[in-house]
């Protein structure tokens, strides 16, 4: 490989990696910036409805509780002797003395953002969530911080973030150890521990005067965080007997809590809120925007809460809630952030300053949740306070934006009538106050609701004020990268006349002026530092693209007059159209997995029959059949339902199949018994042991007898010893295919130990397709050169065939991810296999194991791609750069499709798709680097042979 070309390729590759990795965070700056600002005045209702409040968050499966499984009649029909009502106490509350409905959560349906919405009344931006779970990545106010005292009990994963964000000493926490979150044990013990700690606290107050005084102050909050059933849902799925039993346990804890507080306080001045941070899917997972993950129950009762109301002529129920058997009572739904202002209204404390929640009783046509003790006046007062609080946020953000924006345009519906210096919303508040003075309560609530709606729209307007500009910059960056990488790859020093001195000087001046203009604007607006980098990339890319392509433009049309150029152009246009359609097909495949299978049919059947040289089909028809069978067998896996159940028989089948294929392949590939003995036996032993140990672990976990230490130790040992064996043994492979076989066998135990069902079979089929692909491309390239009477060029120039190969590579990159997991998010991968190694809750290790499982197919892809480069005599990374230059068509599509409105499913998937696509691009570079390292020094390395020949 030419040293100058090598240096250029390396520079382009490094720049591309930095660019794509950095631009991933652009989705957060563009669509999900932090809503938190400071400096707002706080508001509260004048009269409290209750002296204290109990918030119970039921952590039922996947850190959440589905409303249907709690409220349905006979929700577990497949379980023998299951009760018709699983939570009789909570249901009796809904029927006789409380209000109920569905609390709709927002994505990501994870613990931290769910609790922030409930307790702080704000929807935390995704970028803040990624900065930490147990501490506060951003400072925010909460109901706990506004209470007189909060006594919280439960998980160490949630409680600390609200204690650290509050006034010191105001929020007291009682937490069990992280090691107690063991997925192999009865998780109900964690929830029982919570109620026992509450009981101990109340008992201690009888002898501790300070504690007793704190408990009896007005505005006290009790927070019971019931995480125990999280482990049950992950381990046994939501429709299991274990899950049903855990709901019964939580129902009993709610009953015990109410009895304890009644006995201690001897009054009826306590309000109760029961809900969940999020729900779950049928497979016991969350985080992916599944509708079942966004619907949680909300039951409220006690002081200040209305009782059940008869349903209206237009029913408040739908097909989701009719199976509850509560049709005669009103179902009152809320957004999750609405719970926080509901709690502050009950306690008569300040609303959290960043709360965007709306008390359900603001809407005059809504039954709400409050009991109008003082008539409609109290509901009207709550509505006015709610409106003032949200309007105050708009005023502060409006002022900040006006101070720092260039040519600022305020939100039209809140533009002050008396000029830009007036305070927005003043006239609307005056009208509402006049209605309150005249005791027109319903009209005051209606006007307040309208002001809240307009203020929320204004907040969104300010939140997205710079979105169009930023989207344009990011789009220009991705397109600029594609143009720059393509121009860099095809340019050479002898392309024609050099541009004039004026052109050489003009380009830097123009590029620098554009860059400085944007930087000046960002400085005035005090924009985040990331904005400066976002605009620097497209400025550089387009500058370099014009500089590299300008000599081609100066050459005129001399080449266009050569014979056959029009045919080449026509073929190029055809391939370009095919590439665009293929990439957009991959985009569509993110939501329709069957498209991946169609892709395999296209490359395994259509392409060989239509586009292969006829000589290949005639000379080696068996090879064509092998290629078609390998592609069609791999095409079966994306068609499988993503909701899988643990199957020990399929796990064992995968292990046995890999042993059989490995043995046969070793016999075919190796040239002597001594070579075969060095390559195969140890790896096959690892696969066999992992199959046996995994089967035993599955049986033990399913029967709930616990996982012995020896099983965990063997699983860990086999997992990493097998993966590192090819390098640790320093084995010398006779050829590249033998080395590929060694790598395949090395990662086979991973797809046994970390499989839930057919992943091992997918790994086998996928690797067979990849290895066959090497032979396919080698034959096609050889026959093409022979037909065109071409010899290998001394310096590399991209060809149209290289574009197709790069497109196939992108296809295999995507399939490696989507072949075994759900398309929505990494968190939707199953956790059952992880319990075979980590039975105690440890999110970092669990996530690492899931990522390791994702990596395994890519190890094979990396080695195959490096081998393919070598077999074709191409420079390292040349095919990858072609792929990287055209794949941003997918990335731009996903970026522009990101939304933060609509259904939670649409929001969650739009974010996940962009992030997954972007990460897979960066991941692809690692694949190429890993492949070159893994296959370095191979005896059949054609580039190495060429170098030795030249020497």
What does the H/E/C string look like for 260-279? HHHHHHCCCCEEEEEECCCC
Q: Which residues contact 442 (CB under 8 A, 6 or more apart)?
A: 364, 376, 380
SS3 56: strand
Q: What share of the chain is helix, strand, coil (3-state, %, to 5)?
A: 60, 5, 30
Q: Enter the DSSP assignment of 122.
A: S
Taking the C-alpha atoms of residue 865 and residue 740, their distance in angstroms, rounded to an integer, is 11
Choose among 398, 399, 374: nearest CA to 461.
398
The number of beta carbons lying within 10 Å of the beta carbon of residue 574 is: 11
Per-residue confidence (pLDDT) for residue 763, from 0 to 100:
92
Per-residue confidence (pLDDT) for residue 167, from 0 to 100:
84
* CATH topology assigned to domain 57-371: Alkaline Phosphatase, subunit A (3.40.720)
Q: How far is CA 289 from CA 101, 215, 283, 659, 904, in A?
A: 20, 39, 14, 39, 6
Taking the C-alpha atoms of residue 158 and residue 169, their distance in angstroms, rounded to an integer, is 17
Q: How far is CA 605 from CA 398, 619, 639, 861, in A?
A: 60, 17, 18, 21
459 backbone dihedrals φ, ψ, rounded to 5°: -60, -40
Per-residue confidence (pLDDT) for residue 826, from 0 to 100:
36
Start-to-end CA distance of the chain, whole Å, equals: 13
Q: How many helices (H) and strands (E) does the chain have?
A: 37, 8
The number of beta carbons lying within 10 Å of the beta carbon of residue 463 is: 18
Asked if 285 and 827 count as a contact pair (C-beta separation under 8 A), the reply is: yes
Alpha helices, DSSP H, located in 266-332? none
Question: pTM of the prediction?
Answer: 0.75
Per-residue confidence (pLDDT) for residue 900, from 0 to 100:
74
Strand order in the sheet with 334-335: 171-175, 149-154, 220-226, 52-58, 270-275, 295-302, 98-104, 334-335
Q: Enter the DSSP assignment of 732.
A: P
Taking the C-alpha atoms of residue 572 and residue 567, their distance in angstroms, rounded to an integer, is 9
155 backbone dihedrals φ, ψ, rounded to 5°: -80, 140
Taking the C-alpha atoms of residue 400 and residue 783, their distance in angstroms, rounded to an integer, is 67
The DSSP annotation for 605-634 comes to IIHHHHHS-HHHHHH-HHHHHHHHHHHHHH
- Enumerate the β-bridge partners of residue 182: 840
Query: How large is the angle between the packed helices 878-886 and 888-897, nearest 10 degrees?
Result: 30
Per-residue confidence (pLDDT) for residue 273, from 0 to 100:
97
What residues in the chain have per-residue pLDDT under 50?
A: 1, 60-64, 129, 132-134, 232-234, 283-284, 286-289, 493-497, 556-565, 822-828, 939, 943-944, 946-951
Per-residue confidence (pLDDT) for residue 66, from 0 to 100:
56
Taking the C-alpha atoms of residue 11 and residue 680, their distance in angstroms, rounded to an integer, is 40
Per-residue confidence (pLDDT) for residue 230, from 0 to 100:
52
Per-residue confidence (pLDDT) for residue 822, from 0 to 100:
44
The two tokens of residue 437 are 């003075």
Domain residue ranges in the chain: 57-371, 467-551, 572-949
The two tokens of residue 558 are 């001399």
The number of beta carbons lying within 10 Å of the beta carbon of residue 541 is: 24
Q: Tell me the per-residue pLDDT of 710-740, one tens digit each, with 9 for 90 and over.
A: 998 998 999 888 888 776 666 666 678 888 8
Q: Tell me the per-residue pLDDT of 827-858, one tens digit each, with 9 for 90 and over.
A: 345 677 888 888 876 777 887 887 788 788 88
């Amino acid at each position: 490989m030419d040293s100058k070309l090598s240096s250029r390729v390396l520079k382009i590759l490094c720049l591309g990696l930095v660019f794509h990795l950095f631009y991933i965070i652009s989705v957060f700056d563009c669509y999900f910036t932090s809503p938190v600002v400071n400096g707002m005045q706080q508001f509260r209702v004048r009269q409290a409805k209750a002296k204290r409040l109990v918030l119970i968050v039921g952590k039922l499966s996947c850190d959440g509780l589905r409303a249907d499984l709690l409220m349905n009649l006979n929700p577990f029909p497949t379980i023998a002797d299951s009760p018709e009502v699983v939570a009789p106490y909570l249901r009796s509350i809904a029927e006789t003395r409380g209000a109920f409905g569905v609390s709709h959560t927002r994505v990501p349906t994870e613990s931290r953002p769910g609790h922030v919405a409930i307790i702080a009344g704000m929807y935390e931006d995704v970028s803040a969530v990624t900065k930490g779970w147990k501490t506060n990545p951003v400072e925010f106010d909460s109901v706990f911080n506004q209470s007189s005292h909060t006594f919280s009990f439960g998980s160490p994963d949630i409680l600390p973030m609200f204690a650290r964000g509050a006034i010191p000493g105001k929020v007291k926490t009682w937490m069990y150890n992280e090691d107690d979150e063991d997925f192999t044990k009865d998780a109900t013990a964690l929830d029982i521990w919570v109620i026992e700690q509450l009981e101990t606290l109340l008992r201690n107050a009888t002898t501790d005067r300070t504690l007793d005084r704190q408990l009896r102050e007005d505005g006290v909050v009790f927070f019971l965080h019931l995480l125990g059933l999280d482990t049950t849902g992950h381990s046994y799925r939501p429709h299991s007997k274990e899950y049903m039993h855990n709901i019964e346990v939580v129902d009993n804890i709610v009953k015990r809590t109410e009895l304890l507080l009644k006995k201690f306080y001897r009054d009826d001045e306590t309000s109760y809120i029961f809900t969940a941070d999020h729900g779950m899917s049928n497979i016991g997972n969350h985080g992916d925007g599944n509708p079942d993950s966004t619907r949680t129950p909300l039951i409220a009762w006690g002081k200040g809460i209305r009782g059940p109301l008869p349903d209206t002529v237009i029913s408040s129920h739908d097909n989701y809630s009719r199976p509850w058997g509560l049709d005669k009572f009103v179902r009152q739904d809320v957004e999750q952030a609405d719970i926080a202002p509901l709690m502050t209204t009950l306690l008569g404390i300040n609303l959290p300053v960043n709360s965007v929640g709306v008390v359900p009783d603001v809407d005059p046509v809504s039954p709400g949740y409050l009991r109008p003790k003082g008539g409609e006046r109290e509901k009207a007062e709550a509505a006015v306070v709610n409106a003032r609080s949200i309007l105050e946020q708009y005023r502060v953000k409006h002022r900040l934006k006006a101070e720092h924006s260039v040519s600022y345009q305020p939100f039209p519906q809140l533009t002050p009538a008396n000029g830009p210096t007036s305070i927005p919303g003043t006239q609307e508040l005056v009208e509402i106050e006049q209605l309150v003075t005249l005791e027109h309560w319903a009209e005051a609530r209606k006007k307040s609701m309208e002001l809240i709606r307009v203020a929320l729209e204004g907040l969104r307007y300010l939140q997205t004020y710079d979105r169009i500009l930023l989207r344009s910059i990011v789009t220009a960056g991705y397109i600029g990268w594609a143009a720059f990488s393509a121009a860099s790859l095809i340019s050479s020093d002898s392309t024609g006349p050099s541009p004039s001195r004026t052109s050489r000087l003009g380009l830097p001046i123009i590029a620098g002026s554009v860059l400085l203009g944007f930087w000046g604007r960002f400085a005035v607006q005090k924009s985040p530092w990331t904005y400066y980098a976002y605009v620097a990339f497209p400025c550089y890319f387009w500058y370099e693209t014009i500089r590299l392509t300008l000599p081609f433009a100066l050459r005129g049309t001399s080449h266009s007059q050569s014979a056959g150029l029009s045919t080449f152009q026509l073929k190029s246009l055809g391939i370009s159209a095919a590439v665009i359609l293929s990439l957009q097909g991959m985009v569509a495949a993110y939501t329709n997995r069957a498209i991946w299978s169609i892709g395999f049919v296209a490359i395994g059947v259509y392409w060989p029959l239509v586009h292969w040289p006829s000589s290949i089909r005639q000379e080696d028809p068996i090879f064509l059949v092998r290629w078609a069978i390998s592609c069609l067998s791999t095409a079966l896996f994306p068609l499988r339902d993503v909701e899988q159940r643990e199957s020990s028989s399929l796990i064992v089948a995968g292990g046995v199949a890999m042993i059989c294929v490995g043995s046969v392949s070793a016999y075919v590939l190796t040239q002597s018994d001594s070579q075969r003995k060095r390559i195969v036996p140890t790896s096959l032993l690892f696969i066999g042991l992992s199959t046996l140990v995994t089967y035993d672990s599955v049986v033990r976990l399913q029967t709930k007898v616990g996982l012995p230490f020896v099983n965990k130790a063997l699983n860990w040992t086999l997992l990493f010893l097998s993966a590192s064996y090819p390098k640790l043994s320093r084995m010398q492979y006779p050829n590249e295919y033998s080395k590929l076989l060694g790598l395949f066998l090395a990662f086979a135990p991973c797809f046994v130990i970390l499989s839930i069902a057919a992943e091992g079979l997918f790994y086998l089929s996928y690797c067979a397709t990849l290895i066959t692909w090497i032979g396919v491309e080698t034959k096609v390239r050889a026959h093409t050169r022979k037909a065109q009477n071409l010899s290998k060029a001394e310096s590399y120039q991209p060809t149209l065939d290289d574009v197709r190969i790069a497109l196939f590579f992108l296809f295999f990159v995507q399939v490696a991810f989507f072949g075994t997991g759900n398309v929505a998010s990494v968190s939707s991968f199953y956790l059952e296999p992880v319990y075979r190694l980590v039975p105690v809750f440890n999110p970092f290790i669990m996530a690492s194991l899931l990522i390791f499982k994702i990596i395994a197919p890519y190890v094979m892809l990396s080695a195959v791609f490096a081998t393919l480069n070598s077999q074709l005599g191409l420079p390292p990374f040349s095919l990858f750069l072609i792929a990287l230059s055209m794949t941003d068509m997918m990335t731009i599509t996903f970026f522009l499709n990101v939304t933060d409105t609509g259904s939670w499913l649409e929001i969650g998937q739009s974010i996940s798709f962009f992030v997954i696509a972007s990460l897979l691009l960066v991941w692809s570079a690692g694949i190429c680097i890993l492949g070159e390292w893994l296959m370095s020094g191979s005896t059949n390395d054609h580039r190495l042979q060429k170098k030795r020949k030249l020497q």
